[in-house]
């Protein structure tokens, strides 16, 4: 079986072996760390046990410990592989209806462009204090060049962006008026990559692997992670002993051996083939999905209700989130998986990682547009997130 301990932190990171590891309260370097390290070094056996349900809520899961985990994020290097998007926003106001058709007239006041898709996952890793490498494809067009510029501005090497001349760069243009989205325009293809582009992408993945503590495969269904490419990427990641977390779209076939899967409720239904109406349905769906990926941990996000985490067959552990005003859910899933994997690689239990991820997502939904959460913002939100989650897990 594979469980989230495959994403558990090494006792130290190779590139910082000369620096002592900061210890968390109640946690020391013991034989469990050695066993976790041994599992990480064996890509064919990432784990040999599944933590019990009772073990998901550590007695010392307090804001201080969670804050210490946040501090460790700066020592974590992740690789993000997936569909990148150029998110464009037109900001304006609506004062009248068009005389040409029954549609609003938006008086555009401002325009912004930000990284979306897998690039937004990378943005969130950086905002939370981690280090990231990004591998994806862009078109041979102005939008692709703009993404490369924004990635470089983020402090991330754009060398992992492969130019695929056979496809356009994915662009999503949103028109926002009075804090409401009026309309969205999508310019994209969902075709699989050409053979030449696939070879270049896999070469970029291999080049980015050294020093990585974990990988995130972010599938937005735009064709980049079509089954053959996703399988090839998974083989390379597992051969390198890198634990993999997946944000899936519509297929589980390529992701057997993943240490963690993070679907939302709708995706969990599609992936399992089970209509989810209650907790029992969710448990059955989770069991089926986990078996299809070889027993990895499952985190099912449930919007305003937080998430439910599964490390073994059974009802799972609900992790409620603090209630807050929601302005825009765009990008919240990107924030969630970035925070989850950073926390796990920093030494968190799956429950602790879920609390941190809930806090981070709560920050993001309080903003308009594709946004990120900083480590300081998450730290301020941790007490409320932990209070809500502890009640949900009891």
* List 87, 213, 328, 334, catalytic entry: 334
Number of residues that make up the chain: 394
Q: Quote the CA–CA distance of 386 and 61 in Å, as a whole number.
A: 8
Judge whether 33 counts as a catalytic residue.
no
Pairing of strands 214-218, 180-187: unpaired
* Helix locations, the chain, DSSP H: 31-41, 63-72, 118-127, 142-153, 195-208, 227-239, 265-272, 279-292, 332-345, 350-364, 375-393
Burial class (CB in 10 A: 0-12, 13-18, 19+), 5: buried
Element spanning 218, H or E: strand 214-218
Two structure tokens written together for 114: 């930000």
Is residue 318 helix, strand or coil?
strand
| Cα radius of gyration rounded to whole Å, the chain | 21
Pairing of strands 104-117, 84-97: antiparallel
* Residue 327 · residue 366 · CB < 8 Å: yes
* Residue 23 · residue 12 · CB < 8 Å: no
Catalytic positions are: 334
């Amino acid at each position: 079986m594979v469980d989230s301990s495959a994403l558990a932190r090494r006792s130290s990171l190779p590139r910082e072996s000369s620096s002592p590891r900061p210890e968390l309260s109640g946690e020391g370097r013991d034989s469990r760390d050695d066993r976790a390290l041994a599992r990480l070094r064996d890509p064919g056996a990432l784990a040999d046990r599944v933590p019990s349900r009772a073990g998901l809520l550590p007695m010392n899961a307090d804001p201080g410990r969670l804050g210490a985990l946040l501090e460790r994020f700066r020592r974590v290097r992740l690789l993000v592989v997936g569909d990148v998007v150029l998110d464009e926003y037109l900001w304006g106001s609506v004062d009248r209806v068009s005389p040409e058709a029954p549609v609003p007239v938006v008086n555009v006041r401002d325009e912004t462009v930000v990284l979306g898709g897998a690039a937004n996952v990378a943005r969130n890793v950086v905002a939370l204090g981690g280090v990231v490498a990004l591998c994806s494809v862009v078109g041979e067009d102005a939008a692709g060049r703009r993404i490369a510029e924004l990635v470089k501005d983020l402090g991330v090497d754009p060398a992992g962006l492969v130019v695929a001349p056979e496809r356009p760069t994915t662009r999503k243009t949103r028109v926002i008026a009075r804090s409401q989205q009026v309309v969205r325009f999508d310019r994209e293809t969902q075709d699989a990559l050409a053979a030449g582009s696939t070879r270049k992408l896999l070469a970029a993945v291999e080049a980015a692997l050294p020093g990585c503590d974990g990988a995130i495969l972010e599938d937005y269904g735009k064709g980049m992670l079509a089954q053959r490419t996703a399988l090839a990427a998974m083989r390379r990641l597992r051969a390198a002993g890198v634990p993999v977390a997946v944000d899936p779209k519509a297929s589980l076939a390529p992701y057997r051996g993943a240490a963690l899967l993070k679907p939302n409720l709708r995706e969990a239904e599609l992936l399992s083939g089970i209509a989810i109406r209650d907790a029992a349905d969710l448990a059955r769906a989770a069991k089926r999905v986990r078996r299809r990926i070889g027993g990895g941990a499952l985190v099912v996000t449930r919007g305003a209700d937080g998430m439910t985490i599964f490390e073994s067959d059974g009802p799972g552990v609900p992790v409620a989130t603090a209630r807050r005003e929601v302005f825009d859910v765009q990008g919240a899933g990107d924030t969630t998986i970035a925070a989850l994997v950073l926390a796990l690689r920093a030494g968190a239990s799956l429950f602790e990682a879920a609390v941190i991820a809930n806090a981070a997502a709560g920050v993001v939904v309080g903003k308009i547009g594709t946004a990120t959460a900083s480590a300081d913002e998450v730290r301020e939100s941790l007490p409320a997130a932990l209070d809500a989650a502890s009640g949900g897990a009891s």
